[in-house]
Amino acid sequence: MTSLTTCADAEAAAKRAASEIARRLHSAREARGAAHLALSGGSTPARTYQLLATALDSWEGIELWFADERCVGPDDRESNYRLAKETLLGTAAELGAERIHRMRGELGPDEGAKSYELELREHAPAGGDAGDAGDAGDAGDAGDVPPALDVIVLGIGPDGHVASLFPGAPTLDADAQRLCLGVHDSPKPPPERITLTLPVLRAAWRCVLLATGASKADAVNAMLGEASRHVPASLLRRGRLSVIVDDAAAPAPPQR
């Protein structure tokens, strides 16, 4: 069942998200000596990243990944890496460059995705049982199970997209052997992007989805409804999903 937390405003939602992410990373690191966190871009999580930088007692043993990236250079204002650099990386002590796994958007969608998939296979933790690939649909055999990141931070677009997985796109059909895909025709500019696949999002031990503002209310409502390719966020694994919203983005109460 999806965990839904409603906060009074965007600042309170950012604090709640940072606290949950830090707690889960701490637990994972205590259990295994390392923890793997993937970040998304966009304006919504920026404050969460600022707070997260000091919410964790130490960044020792944390491996940092990205859920998606625009096909631009790392210093471009559209770069998700640049957002992380400006909000988190400069103040998160002990997070060494060797543990920051940047999507190389400047390589283009296909080469960038291929490079990142190889990096995930080499450094990301192995997945759990075959059922982790999804609780709706065919999981395949154990060799098809994608790696399991500890926490993936996600936003949601007004159209219900997460990472760079857009409504009705063929990228939603990737099987569990594909970890990362290039996007050539994103309906939201820039059109060329790199994204983790839906099986990787579903295999994560926890996805923390943050939504603030009235423009996200309809998307949040749709995400919590029936699973649909028209709302990619609704395809996330609900038993491992924490949704944190402010009052403006909160789903409407059921009609009586």
Rounded to whole angstroms, the Cα distance separating 205 from 128 reads: 9
Rounded to whole angstroms, the Cα distance separating 103 from 197 reads: 14
CA angle at 189 for the pair 187 and 192, rounded to the nearest 5°: 85
Domain residue limits, the chain? 10-249
Rounded to whole angstroms, the Cα distance separating 183 from 221 reads: 26
Architecture of the domain whose range is 10-249: 3-Layer(aba) Sandwich (3.40)
pLDDT for position 99: 95
pLDDT for position 132: 41
Per-residue pLDDT of the chain in tens (256 residues, 90 and over written 9): 889 999 999 999 999 999 999 999 999 999 999 999 999 998 899 999 999 999 998 999 999 999 999 999 999 999 999 999 999 998 887 788 999 999 999 999 999 999 999 999 999 998 864 344 444 333 334 457 899 999 999 999 999 999 999 999 999 999 999 999 999 999 999 999 999 999 999 999 999 999 999 999 999 999 999 999 999 999 999 999 999 999 999 987 765 5
> Which structure tokens are listed for 129?
């049982």
The closest alpha carbon to 243, from 147, 131, 133, 156, belongs to 156
pLDDT for position 155: 97
Kindly give the residue spans of alpha helices, DSSP state H, lying in 177-252: 198-203, 217-223
H/E element, 117 = helix 109-123
pLDDT for position 130: 39
Rounded to whole angstroms, the Cα distance separating 174 from 120 reads: 16
- Residue 204 contacts residue 149 (beta carbons within 8 Å): yes
- Residue 51 contacts residue 18 (beta carbons within 8 Å): yes
